Amino acid sequence: MSFFNDNVPHYFTVTLMLLKLLKFEMKLFVVLISLYLLEEAFAAPRPVDKKKETEKNKDDNKESNADIDDFGLEYGRYLKQVVQALEEDKEFAKKLENFSAEDIQKGDIARELEFVKHSVRSKLDELKRMEVERLRRLTLQEIEQNELGLYRNEDGHLLPAPPEGRKWRTIPRPHGGKGFNRKNIKVPVHIDPSNAHTFEEEDLKRLIQTATRDLEELDRKRREEFKRYEMEKEYQYRESLKNLTEDEKKEAERKHEEKKNKHKEHPRVNHPGSKPQLEQVWEEKDHMPREEFDPKVFFSMHDINGDGYLDEDEVEAILNLEVKKMYDPNNPEDDAVEMIEEYNRMREHVYSEADKDKDKRISQKEFLDLTQQQDFEEDEGWKGLDEQAPFSEEELKEYEREKQAQMQAHLEAQRQATMAGQQQSMLPQQQFQGVPQNQQFQEAPQKQQIQEVPEQQGASQDQQSKPPRQEVPQQDIVIPSQQKPEDLGKERPQVSQQHN
């Protein structure tokens, strides 16, 4: 107690000092905050790095674009957004399931648009205006590039020439060169251009019909390109045999057959979309007991993004095991291009059986309906590309004739280019023939003229009498233009006079 009583004044002193210090720090803190606010209020704005801002916007656009599958179409993003907006109306989605694929492709579903909720119609109107604005910018860009030879940089400013140099175009213009050529402007057919503000029944009808036609055309082009790829492989193989001896030809054919037979040695492939195929995925990829297979649970497990549909990527992931039975990227006998085509063939087959509304997606109801079909439990196997040729012998012969015609046209173009080059190289000689040349170019033509003198003229010159010519060292001959002033009075050697 005595210790506490003796030190009481000391404790009060320390406490007062701490309070004064804290009060001073609070005042200092308030002053600093005030100065910071004044600086922010009256200081000049910080410069914005437009490149970084542009790159950030591009990255954001890439991320947003990656979330939406464009189906390979130029207007695919707009198509996907319209479909997503319509699916927000559950009543419309139920009506869509009751329509047949033929009615949907004809655009008959568009009549149900007037019964869609107001909020969905407002969203569709906004999507329509955004698409019209996108098309307007594309049209303006085509006019600037094709008609005016201009381009826009990253900041959106017009420049007179593209980065790699001006690309001049000669485009016929109507009305004596006034205005631009409207024939070069593409008119969109997937929207109603007469109405640029609201999404109406005609817009949905046009969008469905155009998308159906364009998607079928994309599939047709893909199959045609693959067929030409396979024909080119066979054409190159047959051409390589023509330059071989008989023994070399037999050896090449033997290796070719070995490679084809080795590719065919793979496990049995299940029928895509059948119960045995799905059960194998359920057991090997999902690690679930085969006897506990549940189609509804299977759909939920493979609906990766949780949107209630199986898109093309998710369906290909289900088919991955079957394709890998036939193709291994590490094996030289397995063609990667053929593997991609096998994915496409299997996916198209599954869609043809399950995708009833032809929207390139499989809903949960469509998937469950597939599992209720009578042939769902049957597995008739799958014939790969190695068991059926993608082209006939007649198509291959037609392709060979086309290749030969292209080769002949290429050789003819090379021959004409060579002849044109030779004529161009002969043009300077014809142009300067008989024209006085400079002294540095006179020596070669004089030698050529001496060599081209006829033998008779040479013989007549030999008969004439000439004084004997003596060889004189080069240092004894003095060129007048090179004489020094002190040598002007000296007498020239007699040899020089005879030489002259």
Q: Spell out a b/e string for 357-394, using b for 16 or more CB atoms within 10 Å of the CB, else e.
A: bbbbbbbeebbebbbeeeebeebeebebbbeeebeeee
Question: How many Cβ atoms are within 10 Å of 211's Cβ, its own excluded?
Answer: 23
Report, as an integer, the average pLDDT of 209-222: 87
Q: Return d(Cα 61, Cα 53) in angstroms, integer.
A: 12
- For the segment 305-333, the average pLDDT, to the nearest whole number, is 90
Structure confidence by residue, pLDDT tens digits, 118-163: 899 999 999 989 988 888 888 877 776 666 666 666 666 666 655 5
Q: How far apart are CA 276 and CA 280, in angstroms?
A: 6
Q: Are strands 151-152 and 158-159 parallel, antiparallel or unpaired?
A: antiparallel
24 vs 10: CA distance, rounded Å = 21
Q: What is the average pLDDT across 299-319?
A: 91
pLDDT greater than 60 at residue 451: no
CB 139 within 8 A of CB 185: yes
Q: How far apart are the C-alpha atoms of 223 and 345, rounded to whole Å? A: 9
- What's the confidence (pLDDT) of residue 43? 52
Among 97-101, 174-178, 463-467, top mean pLDDT goes to 97-101
- Is 469's pLDDT higher than 90? no
Q: Is the pLDDT confidence value at 362 over 50?
A: yes
Q: Is residue 285 predicted with pLDDT exceeding 90?
A: yes
Q: Which of 134, 114, 138 shows the shortest CA–CA distance to 124?
A: 114
Q: pLDDT confidence of 439, banded at 50, 70, 90? A: very low
Mean pLDDT across 177-204: 74
In DSSP terms, 152 is beta-bridged to: 158
State the pLDDT at residue 47: 53
Residue 137, token pair as written in the block: 């910018």
Mean pLDDT confidence for 100-123:
81
Which CATH number applies to 245-384? Answer: 1.10.238.10
- The average pLDDT across 336-351 equals 93
Across 48-57, 99-108, 248-257, the highest mean pLDDT is recorded for: 248-257
Q: What is the 3-state secondary structure (H, E, C) of the chain?
A: CHHHHHCHHHHHHHHHHHHHHHHHHHHHHHHHHHHHHHHHHHCCCCCCCHHHHHHHHHHHHHHHHHCCCCCCCCCHHHHHHHHHHHHCCHHHHHHHHHCCHHHHHHCHHHHHHHHCCHHHHHHHHHHHHHHHHHHHHHHHHHHHHHHCCCEECCCCCEECCCCCCCCCCCCCCHHHHCCCCHHHCCCCCCCCCCCCCCCCHHHHHHHHHHHHHHHHHHHHHHHHHHHHHHHHHHHHHHHHHHCCCHHHHHHHHHHHHHHHHHHHCCCCCCCCCCHHHHHHHHHHCCCCCHHHCCHHHHHHHHCCCCCCEECHHHHHHHCHHHHHHHCCCCCCCCCHHHHHHHHHHHHHHHHHHHCCCCCCCEEHHHHHHHHCCHHHCCCCCCCCHHHCCCCCHHHHHHHHHHHHHHHHHHHHHHHHHHHHHHHHHHHHHHHCCCCCCCHHHCHHHHHHHHHCCCHHHHHHHHHCCCCCCCCCCHHHCCCHHHCCHHHCCCCCCHHHHHHC
- What pLDDT, on a 0 to 100 scale, did the predictor assign at position 26? 66
Give 56 or 272, the one with higher predicted confidence: 272
Two structure tokens written together for 453 = 């003198």
Checking if the pLDDT of 3 tops 60, the result is no
Report the distance separating Cα 222 and Cα 344, nearest Å: 9
Mean pLDDT, range 299-316, rounded to an integer: 91
Residue 422: the pLDDT is 82
Instruction: Report d(CA 145, CA 165) in Å as an integer.
Output: 13
Q: What is the mean pLDDT of residues 156-182?
A: 50
Q: 464 or 85: whose pLDDT is higher?
A: 85
Structure tokens at 340: 């991609």
| Tens digit of each residue's pLDDT (9 = 90 or more) over 26-75 | 666 665 666 666 555 555 555 545 455 555 555 554 444 444 455 677 88
For 261-288, what is the mean pLDDT? Answer: 93
List, by residue range, all CATH 1.10.238.10 domains of the chain. Answer: 245-384
**Average confidence score pLDDT of the chain:** 75
User: What's the token pair of residue 249?
Assistant: 């030809």
pLDDT band at 424 (very low <50, low <70, confident <90, very high): confident
In this structure, are residues 87 and 93 in contact, taking their beta carbons and an 8 Å threshold?
yes
Residue 497 has a pLDDT of: 43
pLDDT exceeds 60 at position 483: no
pLDDT > 90: what percent of the chain? 29
- The dihedrals phi and psi of 285, each to the nearest 5 degrees, come to -95, -40
Distance set, CA 107 to CA 92, 100, 112, 234, 297 (Å): 14, 11, 10, 43, 34
